[in-house]
Chains A and B, each alone.
Chain A
Amino acid sequence: MSETFLLRGARILDPAQGYDAHGDLLIRDGRIYALGPDLAPTADAAVVTLPASWVLTPGFVDLHAHLREPGFEAKETIQSGAAAAARGGFTTICCMPNTQPVIDSAATIAYVRDRAKDAPARVLPIAAISKGEAGTELAEMAELAEAGAVAFSDDGRPVSSSRLMRNALAYAAPLGLPMVEHCQDEDLVGAGVMHEGAIATLLGLPGWPAAGEDVMLARDLALVRLTGAKYHAAHLSTAGAVALVRQAKREGLPVSAEVTPHHLLLTDAWVAGERSGPLADALAALGIAVPPGARYDTATKVNPPLRTTDDCAALLEGLRDGTIDAIATDHAPHTTVDKHCEYADAAFGISGFETALASLLALVHAGRLELPTLVAALTIRPARAWNLDAGTLAPGAAADLTIFDPDEPWTVEPGRFASRGKNTPLAGLTLRGRVRQTWLGGRRVYDAGGEYPSF
């Protein structure tokens, strides 16, 4: 079997190299060999001709995903999650440690890496900051780093103790790995289940103020100033948080940040079935109908919550001006039972891998976001933020590729997701743009036109 491929004809977009042109890509032994116009096929190369309307980019890098294994295999497994990632064009995914047991030991890191070794995506474990994510004692961070952790986070369980967060930052500084915070002052957020504002008032649901995020982020930035350690703010959702990160970067603090597709695109009005905000506007501009949703649709319940149109605008501005480094899915699969219940009792989270690109492309189609900016935030910028060896088509890099048709319309049918989590607020919506192929280390792990990979 040939290990050399020549991919011809597509628009090749690699923000890492500033490359954006129709051209050819030569892959040999799992790595990028050459990139350029009209490459001559070597004798052993299998030629793959792609439509000129398709776009070929580095495989997407996701800094924030929940793969649920070990412990919650009914929601997702590493295999099913990686298959969903491949269908979404993600080739490198960082998985959060809020499993059972928590990923807080070299043994659990080894378990995850072992379960992931034949998966159709590279799975990089994030280890817990505190033992059992209990927020009291530091996890064995040096050993976790040696075992292969790429970052530390108590995601979903914010580090409430300022003292512990300070110590975590200081202790991990020489390890060079970022501390990833889910910015949420739990005392202020209380029993909140959605953004505190007019829609929470309408629906009578306990609200969660934007200040709950800003307060925690401001505290953390003060601690970064104190320790000089690397820090990454997960899933920004408020205009205030964007302003804080922008200011911190101006100061030169070693800070990075991510935003999810849903916080960029959806608003709290979706909880009331009133689908306003950037995605609805963009789809309307494309002539795609967005029917009203159901009130109290638990698929809209996510942590942090969907916020306002103004927050969406600030997040998009932050993405475009470089304040926000990465788009991360916060892929959070759940079972039907977790979601088919009263809103306040439903689990937080959206199954995000398989709709991320198509939903984000709506912004590109509507002229709100440039395609190279979008692709950079899905590839080289997250890779650089965490020093990951990924996100480029430079010669010598692993041949991880995403190939998509930016215009192909399709309807979101959660029943067809590879993910076990069918929980998406986008069910039934028509989106434009679809991943056609995903390559991992020179091997096609997903092909929309070919065999459906089964896991």
Chain B
Amino acid sequence: MALDTLETLAAPPLPATTRRRHLLDVDDWTPDELRALLMDAAHMRGVLAQSERLDTLRGRVLVNLFYENSTRTRVSFELAGKRLGADVTNVTASGSSVEKGESLRDTVRTLQALGAQIVVVRHSRAGAADLIAREIAGAVVNAGDGWHAHPTQALLDAFTLERHLGSVAGRRIVILGDILHSRVARSNVWALTALGAEVVLCGPPTLLPLAAVEMYTSRAVPGTGTPRRVAVEPRVERALAGADAVMVLRLQRERQQAGLLPSPREYTARYGLTPEHLRLARPGAVVLHPGPMNEGVEIDAAVAHGAASLIEEQVTNGVAVRMAVLALLAAGRMVESES
């Protein structure tokens, strides 16, 4: 059933098809699991559209533990938790005991002692969510850890793309920019290739991770065993030719100081998504950006706000996808604790 049809039903989501205790990344998700989650998210979009609230998480404590600054992800999780009836608390590194030198382990154990059953964590260090998952009995949702993973972003990107392309299977999706330092790129490759898309990683060679193709292709899609289709192409013209979607990544200014790039000017000319570059893609190709954008650097304002842009819709879909994720984990926990 098409995702937009499901939205109109506005019924509570279907029972989760699998049990998952945590969401650390989507590298081990099967295509069936991904599709089920996207369908749940479509229901949640319907719930949101009708300004409804569910009681899926009633009585549960969700803590947003954010060690890095964030607007959209933190607010998105907060709204998602509240829509599902959870008690939501936000903890940021500044103004908390983290500033007094408390370790991550001790912080999460303290939160657990305070009753946290779901911890949503954003952290600058890769593996922080894995570390927390080993420490606490509750559920952990990775809201971005270092360069490693940002699974809810990947799920909302897949959801947004499927709403517009019908299905991403067989589609050519270009991730453009600073792949090396991008958790968004890493998680998106897992999700999109599992759903059958071909993903092309494009950026200056200094911002491409080593052995990416070898790494992804040696890890077949769970459940089906299908090889993942991933390519690396530093030449933007070749990467964009025939693209069905372009996902633009934020370029941090520090990359120039680190000697990875000559200048933002040269970057914009070669790798920025300008209207001219976008014309190399297939007609009707859509544009995504995880935000926050540097308009005029990695993306031209005309593209960011043009007809092809799904950037604002990504934000809206983020709440629905996060509701689906939280509901899935809650169901997983219930089944687990009953068995």
A203 touches B127 (CB 8 A): yes
Interface residues of A in 29-67 (CB under 8 A from B): none
**A296 contacts the other chain (Cβ, under 8 Å)?**
yes
The 8 A CB mask of A287-298 against B (1 = contact, 0 = none) is: 000000011100
A203 touches B125 (CB 8 A): no
Stretch in contact with the other chain, from A162-170, A337-345, A414-422: A337-345
**B7 contacts the other chain (Cβ, under 8 Å)?**
no
Given A294-B130, A340-B105, check contact A205 B210 (CB 8 Å): no
Please name the residue on chain A nearest to B135 by beta carbon: A340
Given A203-B148, A204-B147, check contact A342 B125 (CB 8 Å): yes
B209 neighbours in A (Cβ, 8 Å): 200-201, 207
A294 touches B125 (CB 8 A): no
Given A201-B212, A201-B215, A207-B210, check contact A341 B103 (CB 8 Å): yes
B214 neighbours in A (Cβ, 8 Å): 198
**A1 contacts the other chain (Cβ, under 8 Å)?**
no
Nearest Cβ on chain B to A399's Cβ, whole angstroms? 47
Give CA–CA (A205, B215) in the complex, Å: 14
A198 touches B211 (CB 8 A): yes
B210 touches A200 (CB 8 A): yes
**B250 contacts the other chain (Cβ, under 8 Å)?**
no
- From B127, B215, B218, A296 is in contact (CB under 8 Å) with B127
Give CA–CA (A154, B111) in the complex, Å: 43
Give CA–CA (A338, B16) in the complex, Å: 40
B126 touches A201 (CB 8 A): no
Please name the residue on chain A nearest to B208 by beta carbon: A201
Give CA–CA (A340, B211) in the complex, Å: 29
**A405 contacts the other chain (Cβ, under 8 Å)?**
no
Give CA–CA (A207, B147) in the complex, Å: 11
Give CA–CA (A183, B23) in the complex, Å: 40
**A228 contacts the other chain (Cβ, under 8 Å)?**
no
Please name the residue on chain B nearest to A202 by beta carbon: B215
The 8 A CB mask of B153-197 against A (1 = contact, 0 = none) is: 000000000000000000000000000000100100000000000
B219 neighbours in A (Cβ, 8 Å): 202
**A155 contacts the other chain (Cβ, under 8 Å)?**
no
**B146 contacts the other chain (Cβ, under 8 Å)?**
yes
Given A198-B218, A203-B126, A295-B130, check contact A342 B104 (CB 8 Å): yes
- Chain A contributes a number of interface residues (CB within 8 A of B) equal to 23
Please name the residue on chain B nearest to A190 by beta carbon: B258
- From A196, A337, A344, B126 is in contact (CB under 8 Å) with A344
**A197 contacts the other chain (Cβ, under 8 Å)?**
yes
Interface residues of B in 127-153 (CB under 8 A from A): 127-128, 130-131, 134, 145-149
**B123 contacts the other chain (Cβ, under 8 Å)?**
yes
Please name the residue on chain A nearest to B258 by beta carbon: A190
The 8 A CB mask of A200-224 against B (1 = contact, 0 = none) is: 1111111101000000000000000
A207 neighbours in B (Cβ, 8 Å): 209-210
Given A295-B127, A341-B104, A342-B127, check contact A198 B146 (CB 8 Å): no
B211 neighbours in A (Cβ, 8 Å): 197-198, 201
- Chain B contributes a number of interface residues (CB within 8 A of A) equal to 26
Give CA–CA (A205, B183) in the complex, Å: 11
Give CA–CA (A199, B212) in the complex, Å: 9
B149 neighbours in A (Cβ, 8 Å): 204
B145 touches A197 (CB 8 A): no
B105 neighbours in A (Cβ, 8 Å): 340-341
Nearest Cβ on chain B to A249's Cβ, whole angstroms? 31
Nearest Cβ on chain A to B153's Cβ, whole angstroms? 14
A198 neighbours in B (Cβ, 8 Å): 210-212, 214-215, 218
Nearest Cβ on chain B to A84's Cβ, whole angstroms? 26
Given A198-B215, A343-B126, check contact A204 B103 (CB 8 Å): no
Interface residues of B in 72-112 (CB under 8 A from A): 103-105
B131 touches A342 (CB 8 A): yes
Which of A197, A199, A201, A209 has the most chain B CB atoms closer than 10 A to its own CB? A201
Please name the residue on chain A nearest to B182 by beta carbon: A204
A197 touches B210 (CB 8 A): yes
B127 touches A343 (CB 8 A): yes
Which of B131, B212, B218 has the most chain A CB atoms closer than 10 A to its own CB? B131
Interface residues of A in 285-329 (CB under 8 A from B): 294-296
The 8 A CB mask of A336-369 against B (1 = contact, 0 = none) is: 0100111111000000000000000000000000
Which of B130, B134, B212, B219 has the most chain A CB atoms closer than 10 A to its own CB? B130
Interface residues of A in 105-147 (CB under 8 A from B): none
Nearest Cβ on chain A to B306's Cβ, whole angstroms? 31
Please name the residue on chain B nearest to A345 by beta carbon: B125
A204 touches B131 (CB 8 A): no
A340 touches B127 (CB 8 A): no
B215 touches A294 (CB 8 A): no
Nearest Cβ on chain B to A218's Cβ, whole angstroms? 21
Give CA–CA (A262, B16) in the complex, Å: 43
B218 neighbours in A (Cβ, 8 Å): 198
A204 touches B134 (CB 8 A): no
A205 touches B104 (CB 8 A): no
Which of A200, A295, A344 has the most chain B CB atoms closer than 10 A to its own CB? A295
B147 touches A296 (CB 8 A): no
Interface residues of B in 319-337 (CB under 8 A from A): none
Given A294-B130, A343-B125, check contact A204 B148 (CB 8 Å): yes
Nearest Cβ on chain B to A161's Cβ, whole angstroms? 21
Interface residues of A in 416-451 (CB under 8 A from B): none
Please name the residue on chain B nearest to A294 by beta carbon: B134
Give CA–CA (A294, B24) in the complex, Å: 13
Nearest Cβ on chain A to B233's Cβ, whole angstroms? 16
Please name the residue on chain A nearest to B149 by beta carbon: A204
B145 neighbours in A (Cβ, 8 Å): 204
Which of A198, A209, A294, A341 has the most chain B CB atoms closer than 10 A to its own CB? A198
A342 neighbours in B (Cβ, 8 Å): 104, 123, 125-128, 131
B210 touches A296 (CB 8 A): no
A340 neighbours in B (Cβ, 8 Å): 103, 105
Give CA–CA (A205, B186) in the complex, Å: 12
Q: List 7 A-B contacts (CB under 8 A).
A: A198-B218, A205-B126, A205-B148, A207-B209, A343-B125, A344-B127, A344-B146
4 cross-chain pairs, A with B, having the tightest CB-CB distances, nearest first: A204-B148, A296-B127, A204-B147, A342-B125
Other A-B pairs, 6, CB within 8 Å; known A204-B147, A340-B105, A341-B105: A196-B210, A198-B215, A203-B148, A340-B103, A343-B127, A344-B127
